[in-house]
Amino acid sequence: MRKAILLATIGLGLLSCTSQNIGKNMDLPTEWKHTTNIYEVNLRQYTQEGTFKAFEKEMPRLKNMGVKTLWFMPVTPIAQQNKKGSLGSQYAAADYTSINPEFGTMDQFKHMVNEAHRLGFKVIIDWVANHTGWDHVWTKTHPEFYLKDPDGKFHIASGMDDIIELDYKNQEMRKAMIDAMKFWVKETNIDGFRCDLASWVEVDFWEQARPEVEKIKPLFFIGEFDELENPDYGKVFDASYSWKWMHKSADYYKKNEPITELTDLLKKYSAIGDSSMRAWFTTNHDENSWNGTEFEKYGEITKPMAVFSATWNGIPLLYSGQELPNKKRLEFFEKDVIEWNGKYEMADFYKTLLNLKSSNPALRGGDAAVSTYLLNTSANDKILAYLRKNGKNEVLVVLNFSKEPVNFTIQDEDVSGEYKNVFDKTKRNFSEGKDFNFKVSDFAVFEK
């Protein structure tokens, strides 16, 4: 068997993140982050009521599906001045330490968090640090907290006229922001934050804020930034977005780009190392509402893309309704409930993947003990195949990333012996043959 090398060339070798875990990844109280997944909750559109109380009833179902961490889009009240639509954006806060009455009360939020913890979930909330709405309480009590235009007016955030930007040169504002973050940890016992537009805020704020907030308890921080574009932020956050991958994979499908565009990008992500992780996803609230559903973006490779997101090195990120599956774009500023039909046709699919992610050590994210091999096949231009190993544990993933049926063979000595197919539970001895006959949209995941 070939020895590991730091980076792979397509079809020839290993994508191995061999850097040592340092700092935040050595923090044992948040050891759970290496095996977790994240389910984004769009509370407004989740139920007809759109409340914490109504969502509580959904949590046992999500637990059964294998969900580990619940991420709630902003739960703070929405600014009314210059709001968009009839309900406004949840990302235009009117107060950092209150609850949006649309969702319920603070006591009901606390009850939901306690119930989530009882069921075994971790809970993180969206934190919007870059900007507020126009009538946030600070605009009246501390107007000096905001960036101003030459005419003295509040500075509008780029491309979004319902929000105004904060001034991170103001040290008092920074302290007030950190105190607000502490409030949610102390009062509601959440387990971390998803930080909106994290790279729009100076990195030294996050370097200042995280250790201060974590004086209360160890927390999980995921930032909305791509570490290939903002490497300094990776030193602060446990996980980041894979925006480049999401855009490149959509282009790959829509523009018929060569698969080397994807594998070359995966090499770059792997070179970052394991002191941080990437979150992989096929949709989220922004993508669904503004750029189209996962089915619009990925067509025939939607399911193979979902399998990739759950099995590559990092954290799988799901959005409300993917278990349905939801095939409509949800309104952002209006009530537009997910059209649940009680069937949850994709729930077993995700349950298999999420349980594999949490149980097989070969799928631990951000762990230098895990090696990830890109495998050579007789159809490297159509098939993405890889092997993840951690000691004796292995997970083999084979994905048809083309728009046509493919007959191919894995031509790699790293795959040998008996594996079990995680979906149909059949066993296969790859020492006796490595041929596949894939239809469009086909995939296979094996473990041993």
- Residue of 313, 191, 164 lying closest to 240 (CA atoms): 313
Quick one: pLDDT at residue 318? Answer: 98
pLDDT band at 270 (very low <50, low <70, confident <90, very high): very high
Contact 115, 52 (CB under 8 A): no
Quick one: pLDDT at residue 13? Answer: 45
Q: Which residues of 2-29 are buried (b: 16+ CB within 10 A; e: fewer)?
A: eeeeeebebbebbbbbeeebeebbeeee
Backbone angles phi, psi at 350, to 5 degrees: -70, -35
Contact 310, 37 (CB under 8 A): yes
pLDDT at residue 162 is higher than 80: yes
Ordered structural domains, the chain, with CATH: 30-366 (3.20.20.80), 375-447 (2.60.40.1180)
Alpha-carbon dihedral sign for residues 262, 263, 268, 271: positive
What tokens appear for 197 in the block?
Answer: 């537009």
Count, residues in the chain? 448
- Neighbouring-strand partners of residue 14: 373
358-399 residue pLDDT tens? 999 999 999 999 999 999 999 999 999 999 999 999 999 999
Quick one: pLDDT at residue 3? Answer: 32
d(CA 328, CA 48) in angstroms, rounded, equals: 16
d(CA 199, CA 237) in angstroms, rounded, equals: 11
Quick one: pLDDT at residue 128? Answer: 98
Q: Which residues of 389-423 are buried (b: 16+ CB within 10 A; e: fewer)?
A: bbeebbbbbbbbbbeeebebebebebbeeebeebb
Q: Is 165 helix (H, G, I), strand (E, B) or coil?
A: strand
What tokens appear for 32 in the block?
Answer: 């759970």
285-320 residue pLDDT tens? 999 899 999 999 999 999 999 999 999 999 999 999
pLDDT at residue 138 is higher than 50: yes
